[in-house]
């Protein structure tokens, strides 16, 4: 773990040095290299997540079950056990059927109307760009943040 922190520290120092140079081309090249490194890290992280999930959801539960272990304390790790995460979702293609069932059976408070945040953001941007209108600030929080994009030549 310390090696990852050391690499991060080295990259931070490299970033500070290239920024101090004031050379915009070198800063963009550094930015591009950082983006590429982050993509490699993302790929590695996804592979590690798969290994972790395999151990957590299959291998260790199977070993505990085979040995009839409920939980155990491991020096330097802590108390270990297998828990179960329960999940439920509406099966029907039309969620209204599930919502209606919940309402009809005395659970109306479980039904919540939502708006997807990405959809709302796109709507607000489009409304501003096409009609020059902003959503009311007392109801909606909107913001715009700059970012640098690189398109392959």
User: Does the pTM of the predicted model rise above 0.85?
Assistant: no
- Burial code (b: 16+ CB inside 10 Å, e: under 16) for 117-151 equals eeeeeeebeeeeeeeeeeeeeeeeeeeeeeeeeee
Residue ranges covered by each domain of the chain: 1-87, 91-143
For 70-80, write each residue's pLDDT tens digit: 989 999 899 99
Query: 27 near 19, Cβ under 8 Å?
Result: yes
**How many whole angstroms separate alpha carbon 39 and alpha carbon 12?**
17
pLDDT of residue 92: 79
């Amino acid at each position: 773990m310390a090696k990852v922190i050391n690499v991060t520290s080295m990259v931070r120092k490299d970033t500070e040095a290239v920024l101090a140079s004031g050379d915009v081309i070198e800063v963009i090249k550094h930015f591009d290299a950082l983006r590429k490194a982050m993509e490699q890290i993302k790929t590695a992280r996804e592979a590690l997540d798969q290994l972790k999930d395999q151990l957590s959801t299959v291998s260790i539960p199977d070993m505990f079950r085979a040995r009839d272990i409920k939980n155990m304390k491991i020096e330097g790790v802590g108390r270990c056990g297998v828990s179960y995460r329960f999940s439920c979702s509406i099966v029907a293609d039309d969620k209204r059927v599930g919502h209606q069932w919940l309402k009809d059976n005395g659970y109306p408070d479980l039904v919540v109307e939502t708006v997807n945040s990405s959809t709302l953001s796109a709507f607000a941007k489009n409304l501003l760009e096409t009609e020059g209108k902003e959503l009311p600030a007392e109801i909606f929080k909107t913001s715009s943040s700059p970012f640098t994009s690189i398109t392959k030549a």
